[in-house]
């Protein structure tokens, strides 16, 4: 594999593992865990995927090669979009933050489905069968209450290799592994809490005057502390533990490296007019116009029909401002652009550069416009 293939096929599989873990947690205990919680962001996400595709088609009708990139403006980058909201700190109602995070998660799920269905080459039945065997092993292990993260990571690596050769894009392996990682504990949280509580009670009560004194622990006390540490570790499910451990790797290594390797645009042969035509314009319009119109209109209709309500503590103007921020589609949009146009020769390379330029300009425009509107429409305190 080339270095670019390692980044796009292997490291992005780890990225999608993290995304899959987040989706599973949200479905089990988060903002997608009940129909009432999930309905508004899911409806908004559907609009935010359908309308950008229609806008893309509107700007490049009849060109089959360009239309390979229809899915590029579908995605909302959860890290960058929430980063924009974080600029305004406590001015942002918690309901808006939750809505945007849940919508971005639903968007990612939609992007994963699109990658699996439409960016698949010729299928190898043998490797696909071996992939299914790997999944079956993880499912059975889950049923047998195997809670060791290393086991699922090891089988996941084998699954990734099988899917790499099966014809289905290898990054989907990351999502499948995430869905198989256990989210429950062997004995339940209460068991470990009681164990921690009993062990803490073995230590003497310290007077306030003695709080700053150094205490030399006895061997039994050291053993008790290690028992508390062990119980605390076991209180965290493999799913949440793995998700937490991946955050640093994803945020500080994989995403920056992916951006460094993929965001470069060759403008040496590109005319200035190409920014305002073809794929670049289609992607820009899809992100800036399509995402806003799709998310806002679908949400507005759902609220007017009485199916859902606006997030608590927000107004339509503030909600519309967040819908503009949904047009930040950096990481997954770049990834889908690469899947759409790489391997098409010289013409594909030109279209890929235009698509990347469209993603960069569209995401920046959405971020800037979103910031200006949020600053105007959010409460001042």
Question: Residue 92 burial by CB count (10 A; 0-12/13-18/19+): exposed, middle or buried?
Answer: buried
Given the structure tokens 């992100």, which residue do they identify? Answer: 287
Q: Are 87 and 80 in contact (CB under 8 A)?
A: no
pLDDT at 161: 93
> pLDDT per residue over 206-249, tens digit each?
766 666 666 667 788 788 888 877 777 777 778 888 888 888 88
Which stretch of 114-123, 246-255, 348-357 has the lowest confidence by average pLDDT? 114-123
Structure tokens at 351: 């279209």
**Comparing 304 with 277, which gets the higher pLDDT?**
304
pLDDT at 267: 62
> pLDDT per residue over 322-374, tens digit each?
999 999 888 888 888 888 887 777 777 888 888 888 898 999 999 999 999 98
Rounded to two decimals, what is the model's pTM?
Answer: 0.76
CA dist 300 and 316 (Å) reads 9
Tell me what percent of the residues of the chain surpass a pLDDT of 90: 21
How would residue 133 be classed by pLDDT, with cut points 50, 70 and 90?
very high
Write b or e for each residue in 194-211: b if 16 or more Cβ atoms lie within 10 A of its Cβ, otherwise e.
Answer: ebbeebeeeeeeeeeeee
Which stretch of 55-69, 92-106, 197-211 has the lowest confidence by average pLDDT? 197-211
Average pLDDT, the chain: 83
pLDDT at 268: 61
């Amino acid at each position: 594999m080339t270095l670019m293939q390692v980044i796009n096929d292997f490291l992005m599989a780890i990225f999608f593992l993290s995304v899959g873990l987040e989706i599973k947690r949200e479905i089990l205990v988060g903002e997608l865990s009940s129909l009432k919680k999930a309905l508004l962001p899911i409806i908004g996400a559907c609009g935010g995927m359908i309308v950008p595709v229609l806008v893309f088609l509107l700007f490049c009708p009849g060109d089959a090669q360009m239309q390979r990139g229809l899915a590029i403006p579908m995605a909302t980058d959860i890290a960058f979009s929430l980063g924009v909201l974080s600029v305004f700190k406590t001015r942002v109602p918690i309901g808006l933050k939750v809505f945007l995070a849940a919508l971005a998660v639903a968007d990612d799920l939609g992007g994963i489905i699109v990658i699996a269905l439409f960016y698949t080459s010729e299928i190898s039945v043998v490797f696909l069968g071996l992939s299914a065997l790997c999944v079956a092993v993880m499912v059975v292990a889950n049923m047998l209450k195997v809670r060791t993260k290393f086991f699922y990571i090891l089988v996941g690596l084998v699954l990734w290799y099988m899917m790499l050769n099966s014809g289905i894009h290898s990054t989907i392996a990351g999502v499948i592994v995430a869905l198989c990682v256990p989210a429950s504990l062997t004995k339940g949280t209460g068991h470990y809490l009681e164990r921690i509580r009993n062990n803490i009670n073995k230590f003497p009560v310290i007077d306030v005057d003695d709080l700053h004194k150094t205490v030399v622990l006895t061997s039994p006390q050291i053993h008790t502390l290690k028992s508390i540490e062990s119980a605390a570790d076991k209180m965290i499910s493999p799913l949440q533990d793995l998700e937490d451990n991946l955050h640093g790797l994803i945020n500080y290594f994989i995403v920056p490296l992916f951006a460094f390797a993929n965001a470069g645009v060759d403008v040496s042969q590109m005319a200035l007019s190409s920014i305002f035509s073809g794929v670049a314009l289609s992607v820009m319009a899809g992100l800036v116009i399509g995402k806003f119109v799709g998310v806002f209109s679908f949400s507005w209709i759902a609220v007017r029909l009485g199916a859902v309500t606006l997030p608590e503590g927000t107004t339509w103007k503030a909600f519309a401002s967040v819908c503009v921020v949904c047009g930040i589609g950096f990481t997954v949009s770049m990834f889908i652009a690469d899947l759409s146009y790489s391997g098409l020769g010289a013409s594909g390379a030109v279209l890929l550069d235009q698509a990347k330029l469209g993603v960069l300009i569209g995401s920046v425009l959405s971020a800037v416009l979103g910031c200006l509107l949020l600053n105007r429409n959010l409460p001042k305190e």
